[in-house]
């Protein structure tokens, strides 16, 4: 089996980061020292191997002769074997020795002119030292130092390998965590060509950090049933000129949609600015599809409701896709509401009569000088359902609308989360 240098190195780095996360999870869970040690050991061995291979890949890409400790008869013999077709790579010859870890660093810096900052160099040599200690069965003395160095190496390695290796390094990371994926993208490509997409990602990263939601990949999926976290995420994702639209399960298309309120009972209110309608529901789940950093796809936000009771003895109910909503009216001046059908009709009839009696030419009641509508429509979602999906208005939303209107066949938020993740996993294979 033949594996390229870069694929070999990237595979080891991915494993190192996975072991490091497992270590951090064990530490947070209060696991025994020996369990934590073995995960740190695996992280060190994988990280050192991955770094060494990628350093050698860089040397080889500049000039393959730089890979070898010395030019001697054994190396000349290896060249002869390769020309004869007996070996594919010079280092396939058992008698040829490649440079050491430290020499790789020195050659890249001194011969190839790739600036390796002192801080990065010191951390790399620490990892090499720990790797040698583990190989000889020594015990790591300072767990906090080891875990700290390994954690801070991740962004240092990204900053060094992203521009020097390029696309192969960025794409080889797989579905890395969102903030890391965005930083990798900017390191290689500069600022995102779509300013809105860039602002959306930055707000999402900040919101996830504030709500202690970890390991969200790009692309990826995350979900929460915590109303306060959901409201915080939805609120923080708005602003800086970023506007969301929504398609509702009651077939309304909102125009600009704002997340406006969360009460103590876990009831969330959405306000459709363009059509002046409020939507309220008892929160159940939030499911968010996070797109890849590249391109112009929006985050796709699916919001779920719990069952709520009908208000009033004469409710105005409607049903779509088997889900019930109740229509009401909220008065602008005092926030009072009406949910009885007769009362709603009476208000609407009064408004219609008033509008019919006042024309644009009426000097006493010019339309431009009065509040035409002293109330706004309000809808309560009464069923367990996916209330809506939301997306940034200027970005694409793919098949989200089809997902919303067929969601009942998927089986709820947990099933939607599994389905989206399975789709991503299938694309990765």
Strand-strand pairing, 267-272 and 337-338: unpaired
Whole-model pTM above 0.85?
no
- At residue 363 the predicted structure's pLDDT band, cuts being 50, 70 and 90, is very low
pLDDT of residue 425: 83
Domain range list for the chain: 5-173, 195-428
Residue 367 vs residue 272, higher pLDDT: 272
Task: Tell me how many degrees the CA angle 23-416-424 measures, rounded to the nearest 5.
Answer: 60
**Cα separation values, 282 from 215, 278, 301, 427, Å:** 28, 14, 17, 35
Q: What percent of the chain has pLDDT over 70?
A: 87
**Cα separation values, 8 from 11, 129, 134, Å:** 5, 22, 21
- At residue 16 the predicted structure's pLDDT band, cuts being 50, 70 and 90, is very high
Overall average pLDDT of the 374-399 stretch: 93
Residues 306-350 pLDDT 10s = 999 999 889 999 999 889 999 999 998 898 999 999 989 888 887
Overall average pLDDT of the 417-421 stretch: 91
Residues 24-39 pLDDT 10s = 999 989 999 889 989 9
Quick check: 123 pLDDT over 90? yes
pLDDT of residue 8: 92
Q: What percent of the chain has pLDDT over 90?
A: 60
Per the prediction, the chain carries an average pLDDT of 87
Residues 51-90 pLDDT 10s = 999 999 999 899 888 888 776 766 677 677 677 776 666 6
Quick check: 366 pLDDT over 60? no
pLDDT of residue 222: 95
């Amino acid at each position: 089996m033949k594996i390229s240098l870069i694929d070999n190195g990237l595979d080891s780095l991915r494993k190192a980061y996975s072991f490091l996360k497992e270590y951090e999870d064990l530490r947070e869970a209060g696991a025994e020292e020996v369990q934590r040690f073995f995960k740190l050991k695996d992280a060190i061995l994988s990280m050192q191997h991955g770094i060494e291979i990628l350093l050698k890949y860089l040397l080889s890409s500049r000039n393959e002769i730089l890979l070898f400790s010395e030019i001697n008869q054994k190396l000349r013999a290896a060249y002869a074997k390769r020309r004869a077709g007996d070996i594919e790579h010079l280092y396939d010859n058992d008698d040829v020795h490649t440079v050491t870890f430290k020499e790789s660093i020195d050659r890249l810096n001194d011969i190839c002119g790739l600036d390796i900052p002192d801080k990065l160099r010191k951390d790399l040599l620490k990892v090499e030292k720990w790797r040698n200690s583990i190989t000889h069965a020594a015990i790591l003395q300072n767990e906090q130092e080891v875990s700290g160095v390994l954690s801070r190496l991740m962004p240092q390695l990204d900053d060094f390998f992203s521009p020097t290796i390029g696309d192969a390094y960025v794409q080889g990371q797989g579905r890395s965590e969102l903030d890391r994926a965005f930083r990798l993208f900017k390191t290689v490509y500069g600022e995102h060509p779509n300013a809105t997409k860039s602002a959306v990602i930055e707000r999402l990263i900040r919101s996830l950090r504030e709500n202690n939601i970890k390991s969200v990949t790009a692309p990826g999926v995350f979900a929460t049933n915590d109303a306060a976290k959901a409201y915080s995420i939805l609120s923080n994702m708005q602003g800086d000129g970023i506007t969301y639209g929504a398609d509702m399960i009651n077939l309304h298309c909102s125009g600009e949609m704002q997340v406006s309120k969360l009460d103590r009972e876990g009831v969330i209110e959405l306000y459709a600015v363009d059509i002046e309608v409020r939507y309220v529901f008892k929160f159940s789940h939030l499911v968010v599809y996070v797109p890849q950093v590249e391109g112009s796809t929006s985050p796709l936000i699916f919001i779920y409701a719990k069952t709520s009771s009908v208000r009033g003895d004469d409710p105005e109910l409607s049903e779509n896709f088997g889900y019930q909503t109740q229509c009401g009216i909220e008065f602008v001046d005092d926030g009072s509401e009406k949910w009885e059908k007769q009362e709603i009709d009476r208000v609407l009839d009064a408004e219609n009569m008033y509008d019919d009696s006042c024309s644009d030419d009426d000097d006493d009641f010019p339309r431009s000088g009065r509040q035409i509508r002293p109330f706004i429509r309000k809808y309560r979602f009464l069923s367990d359902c996916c209330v809506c999906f939301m997306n940034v208005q200027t970005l694409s939303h793919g098949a989200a609308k089809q997902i919303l209107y067929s969601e009942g066949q998927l089986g709820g938020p947990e099933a939607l989360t599994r389905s989206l993740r399975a789709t991503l996993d299938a694309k990765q294979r």
